[in-house]
Amino acid sequence: MQALLFDRFGGTDVLRWDSMADPVPGPGQVLVRTQAVGLNFADVYRRNGTYHLSGQAPWILGYEGAGVLASPGSPYPQGSRVGFADMPFANAELVAVDIDKLIPLPDDISSETAAAVLLQGLTAQYLVTDSSRPQPGQVALVHAAAGGVGLLLVQMLRAKGVLVIGVASSDVKRDAARRAGADMVMGYDDLVERVQDATEGAGVHVTYDSVGRTLGDSLAATRTGGTVVFYGMAAGDPDPVDPRLLMDRSLTLTGGDLWNVLVSAEVRRHRAAELFELIRKGSLVPTIAGTFPLRDGAKAHAFLESRRAIGKVVMTL
């Protein structure tokens, strides 16, 4: 098979499209012939050595993709269309995927859409159903509202009747958050003061923070009795939080991780089906920032790292 490989850590120039042996499925696995794969910043961090990689070079990146079953042994016939959100070595023509992690794809969900929405869409979904349960008429603050998760999160909150304040770092990104349905958008300068002004001093009911360094502002912008959902550290680790602050204002600070939610094949497939239904109804429109052939993966990585990508970068075969 062909795969996007790298033998050393570094910039996009370390990536190469080359031949290697087909993967051999282990117990409880089947082969998927990929048609589309999602690109995430975690792939960049693994390529440049920020994240640890096990095994020997050459390495294959990628954890999220969609395609067709290329071997028997699963609950679905060979040739069925499937996706997966958390299996390694996805940047290749063939991927060995755990049967329990297969997600059947409906006819009206393309492989490109599945690769663009599974990981980030399932993340946004648990943020509004498990980490918190915002109600119609409440106000939510969404950091990085033009990011892959942020754009989906804004739409899911709006579908629930929640008023959304989106925060983004540039005019272009703020425009994207507004198009996704944010009722108000703002930058990071004077964030707490601007949120307080927008909510007549009350603060928001819930804040979704994937930035990390903004956690102090998130707590300050959230009203007494409200919730801050912390689910990422894109800009670095947050400062420590004094629990007395939580006590004094009856605040809830909760963390979130998708893999604590996808606890079984049944749960995984049920949640994915709900996600697809939102897309089907038009309540959720995935934003694909750019599509590149997998053999040109270096160009896709460069585009993602440029910070010009708004939405998901997808690579196709």
Of the candidates 125, 103, 98, 93, the one whose C-alpha atom is nearest the C-alpha of residue 2 is 93
**Which pLDDT value is given to residue 257?**
87
**Which pLDDT value is given to residue 237?**
86
Predicted model pTM: 0.94
CA 64 to chain centre: 10
CATH 3.40.50.720: which residues of the chain?
132-255
The CATH architecture that domain 2-119+262-316 belongs to is: Alpha-Beta Complex (3.90)
23 is written with which tokens?
A: 């993967």
List, in sequence order, every beta strand (DSSP E) within the chain: 2-6, 16-19, 29-39, 59-60, 65-69, 81-84, 94-98, 103-104, 139-142, 163-167, 184-186, 204-209, 222-230, 252-255, 288-293, 312-316
Question: What would the pLDDT profile of 206-215 be if each residue is shown by its tens digit?
Answer: 999 999 999 9
CATH topology of domain 132-255: Rossmann fold (3.40.50)
CATH 3.90.180.10: which residues of the chain?
2-119+262-316
**Which pLDDT value is given to residue 91?**
98
In which residue ranges of the chain is pLDDT below 50?
Answer: none
